[in-house]
């Protein structure tokens, strides 16, 4: 019996809405703490800050919170690479010459790889066609691969 797809669009939307609400509430508490420190804490230490300084700090903190939320949301929405079998069909570039073994960069990660066929020079586009243990098996990308 199946519980359902845990990654369905409705569930992901609910999770993101929950993150948004939590981000808004935590930012409001952080802003309130900032106001309390500037208006009550600092004057007790005989440090006085103008209202414009407080407003500038609050705007800067709000902008930081928005950027952090957006970057975090983007990272959470990114599809994870589960394992080597999921790499088949991925495109990348040779970081070192593959004659027949070398390094390739695929999805921002460096992988050891073995070339099928001829030597592949540094900087050339490659496509993963399989795996051999923990090494990827790649071939040189052709023009028709890049269009598709």
Q: Is the pLDDT of residue 1 over 80?
A: no
DSSP class of 141: P
Indicate the residue among 48, 77, 106 that finishes a domain: 77
DSSP 62-130: HHHHHHHHHHHHHHHHSPP---GGGGTT-EEEESS-BSSEEEEEETTEEEEEEESSS-B-TT-EEEEEE
Indicate the residue among 50, 77, 104 that finishes a domain: 77
Say how far apart CA 148 and CA 146 lie, in whole Å: 6
Q: Is the pLDDT of residue 120 over 90?
A: yes
pLDDT of residue 141: 87
Say how far apart CA 87 and CA 129 lie, in whole Å: 8
108 is a domain residue: yes
Total tally of structural domains belonging to the chain: 2
Q: For all residues of the chain together, what is the average pLDDT? A: 86
Q: Give the count of beta carbons closer than 10 Å to the beta carbon of residue 4.
A: 8
pLDDT of residue 14: 81
- The answer on 91 and 68 residing in a single domain is no
pLDDT of residue 148: 46
- The answer on 135 and 98 residing in a single domain is yes
- The answer on 128 and 71 residing in a single domain is no
Parent domain of 119: 84-147
pLDDT of residue 82: 59
Indicate the residue among 58, 77, 96 that finishes a domain: 77
For the chain, percent of residues with pLDDT exceeding 90: 59
Q: Is the pLDDT of residue 85 over 60?
A: yes
pLDDT of residue 83: 67
pLDDT one-digit tens code per residue, 30-57: 999 999 999 999 999 999 999 999 999 9
3 is a domain residue: no
103 is a domain residue: yes
1 is a domain residue: no
- The answer on 97 and 67 residing in a single domain is no
- The answer on 106 and 90 residing in a single domain is yes
Say how far apart CA 148 and CA 145 lie, in whole Å: 5
Categorize the per-residue pLDDT at 140 as very low, low, confident or very high, splitting at 50, 70 and 90.
very high
Rg (CA), the chain: 25
């Amino acid at each position: 019996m199946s519980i359902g797809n845990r990654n369905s669009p409705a569930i992901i939307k609910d999770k993101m809405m929950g993150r948004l609400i939590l981000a808004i509430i935590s930012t409001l508490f952080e802003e309130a703490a900032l106001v309390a420190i500037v208006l009550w804490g600092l004057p007790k230490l005989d440090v006085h800050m103008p209202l414009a300084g407080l407003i500038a700090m609050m705007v800067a903190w709000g902008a930081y919170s928005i950027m952090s939320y957006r970057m975090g949301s983007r990272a959470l929405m990114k599809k994870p690479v589960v394992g080597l079998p999921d790499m088949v069909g991925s495109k990348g570039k040779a970081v070192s010459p593959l004659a027949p073994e070398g390094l390739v960069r695929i999805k921002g990660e460096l992988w050891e790889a073995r070339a099928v066929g001829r030597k592949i020079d540094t900087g050339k586009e490659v496509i993963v066609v399989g795996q051999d243990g923990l090494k990827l098996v790649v071939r040189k990308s052709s023009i028709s691969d890049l269009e598709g």
